[in-house]
């Protein structure tokens, strides 16, 4: 039986700004999707046992089928005589790179079962093809984080720039889920519209976001977590100013800070989905997670820098 896994992810700096060429920083998290591939007599079988937001897997089923077709095609394998089972501890929901993690896990499991000996670079290329089933033309940032782990500096352009970064050691975080599935396309379109309508205001905000990214990179690479936390707070304020946060996200961010997080912000598409809190000390991670749970929201306790 072939085995494989892929990391989930969290965007630490500059979701939305990244669409317009501003640098962003993404981190893999210490939760994974796993895949197991076995041979069967004819046909194709698929079982998805991932924990997930209600209706998430049902809503993504058609895209998932396209994604799997893309993976088999990219690996020059026939989609028959194979059974795939997904699992793992990554809670499948918007904002944690669930689709990319599944693509990486499946590619690795197929490589293992069919003795293809794919390198990480090859797995990443296959996973990118799989991501096309979900996103059309993906940026590539999610599958890269899912494949390699760690931290990634990303700039969108004619040729995307992706540079691997490193943390001195893993750091605890808390991710709070509002439970609302965000319409990322609508959020992105809204930013574009407002940017065109208020160019001077938005140019200033975007310049500030770029400064945050470079300062954030320096702080992460020097392991100055207090500075990272302050910059996350600043980044959240900028995201509020371009109107992609909402009351639930702001409430969870405030709850995290009030309970000891050294930084907290929304993460992902916004207008729902997840926020992230930097909680290096285990006791603070537990306190923040407990406070968010008490408000009735789902929590992930995990790490970055893995």
Catalytic residues: 142
SS3 content of the chain, % helix, strand, coil (to 5): 45, 25, 30
Tokens of 94: 């918007």
Q: How far apart are CA 298 and CA 25, in angstroms?
A: 24
Q: How far apart are CA 81 and CA 152, in angstroms?
A: 37
Task: Pick the closest to residue 149 from 10, 269, 52 (CA basis).
Answer: 10
Task: Pick the closest to residue 97 from 149, 163, 165 (CA basis).
Answer: 149
Is residue 149 within 8 A of residue 8, CB to CB? The reply is no
Task: Pick the closest to residue 7 from 135, 139, 106, 145 (CA basis).
Answer: 145
Tokens of 292: 């968010």
Is residue 71 within 8 A of residue 114, CB to CB? The reply is no
By three-state DSSP, how is residue 303 classified?
strand
Task: Pick the closest to residue 14 from 221, 268, 201 (CA basis).
Answer: 268
Task: Pick the closest to residue 232 from 277, 283, 178 (CA basis).
Answer: 277
């Amino acid at each position: 039986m072939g085995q494989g896994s892929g990391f989930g992810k969290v965007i630490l700096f500059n979701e939305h700004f990244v669409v317009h060429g501003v640098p962003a920083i993404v981190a893999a998290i210490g939760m994974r999707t796993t895949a197991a591939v076995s041979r069967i007599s004819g046909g194709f079988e698929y079982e998805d046992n991932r924990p997930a937001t209600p209706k998430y897997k049902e809503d993504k089923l058609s895209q998932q089928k396209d994604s799997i077709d893309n993976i088999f095609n990219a690996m020059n394998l026939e989609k028959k005589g194979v059974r795939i089972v997904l699992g793992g501890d990554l809670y499948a929901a918007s904002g944690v790179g669930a689709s990319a993690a599944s693509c990486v896990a499946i590619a690795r499991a197929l490589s293992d079962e069919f003795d293809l000996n794919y390198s990480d670079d090859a797995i990443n290329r296959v996973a990118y093809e799989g991501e096309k089933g979900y996103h059309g033309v993906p940026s590539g940032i999610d599958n890269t984080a899912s494949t390699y782990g760690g931290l990634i500096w990303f700039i969108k352009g004619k040729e995307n720039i992706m540079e691997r970064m490193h943390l001195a050691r893993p750091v605890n975080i808390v991710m709070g889920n509002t439970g609302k599935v965000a319409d990322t396309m609508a959020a992105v379109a809204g930013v574009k519209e407002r940017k065109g309508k208020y160019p001077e205001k938005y140019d200033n905000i975007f310049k500030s976001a770029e400064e945050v990214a470079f300062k954030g990179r320096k702080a992460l690479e020097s392991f100055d977590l207090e500075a990272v936390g302050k910059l996350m707070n600043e980044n959240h304020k900028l995201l509020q100013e371009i109107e992609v946060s909402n009351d639930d996200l702001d409430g969870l961010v405030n709850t995290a800070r009030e309970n000891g997080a050294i930084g907290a912000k929304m993460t992902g598409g916004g207008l729902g989905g997840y926020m992230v809190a930097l909680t290096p000390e285990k006791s603070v991670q537990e306190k923040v997670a407990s406070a968010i749970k008490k408000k009735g929201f789902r929590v992930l306790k995990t790490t970055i820098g893995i």
